[in-house]
Amino acid sequence: MDLIKITVPEFGADISLAYATATNFTGKPVYENAICYLHIDAAKALKDAILSAENLGYRIRIFDGFRPSEAQWVLWNHTPDPFFLADPRRGSPHSRGVAVDLTLTTPDGKPLEMGTAFDDFTPKSHHGNNQISKIAQQNRLILLGIMTQAGWDFYRNEWWHYQLFNAQKYPLINDTEIPEPMMART
């Protein structure tokens, strides 16, 4: 397993894991422990994106990285919507450690306008949606440019989701396989 911990001091990104709080679409914490992991390949691409964002005067805020397969089931069981969630039987790029959900902020941490909140499961979340403000469209394009130049692919239905191009080649990872578990042990 090649997951590494993503930390604020080492990466310079803000980390605000939505699924470690009740402020997510399930209304309750999914992760017991707020630990951000990524596969080493994704971590390298994230560092490139963070540097590009800094060069343009922005910071990156991470909402989610590696998501244990068990967590994917929790999300799917709550909202089984294949337009916004990967069916856990197929596996999510998040559960492979090669996807990240994020946004851009100003250097002092103010989120840029993106037209919708994170995990807004509506067509307004789609890349290229022109029913949002011009500023939000511009900010999404800046994020898209930063991420694609750093080697990330995007998911057309979610402005916040990026994954490595060859995500399916990485194995699915369960919570029991990681150094520090994220899920509650029952």
Tokens 């910071």 found at: 59
- Residue at 164 is within a domain: yes
pLDDT given for residue 88 in this prediction: 95
- Residue at 185 is within a domain: no
Q: What is the pLDDT of residues 131-148, one digit of tens each?
A: 999 999 999 999 999 999
Range of the domain at 99: 3-177
Known catalytic residue at 177: no
- Residue at 83 is within a domain: yes
- CA-based max dimension of the chain: 47
pLDDT given for residue 185 in this prediction: 72
From the list 45, 50, 30, 53, the residue with the least C-alpha distance to 181 is 30
Residue ranges with strand state E in the chain: 3-5, 14-15, 37-39, 59-64, 99-105, 152-155, 158-164
From the list 68, 69, 74, the residue with the least C-alpha distance to 37 is 68
Residue ranges for the chain with pLDDT beneath 70: 1, 186
- Residue at 98 is within a domain: yes
- Residue at 143 is within a domain: yes
Q: Please state the pTM of the whole predicted model.
A: 0.96
Q: What angle do CA 85, 91, 96 make, to 5 degrees?
A: 105
- Residue at 184 is within a domain: no
Q: What is the pLDDT of residues 24-46, one digit of tens each?
A: 999 999 999 999 999 999 999 99
Query: H or E segment at 55?
Result: helix 40-55
pLDDT given for residue 186 in this prediction: 62
Number of domains in the chain: 1
pLDDT given for residue 169 in this prediction: 96
- Residue at 152 is within a domain: yes
CATH code of 116's domain:
3.30.1380.10
Q: Which of the following is catalytic: 10, 54, 70, 158?
A: 158
- Residue at 182 is within a domain: no
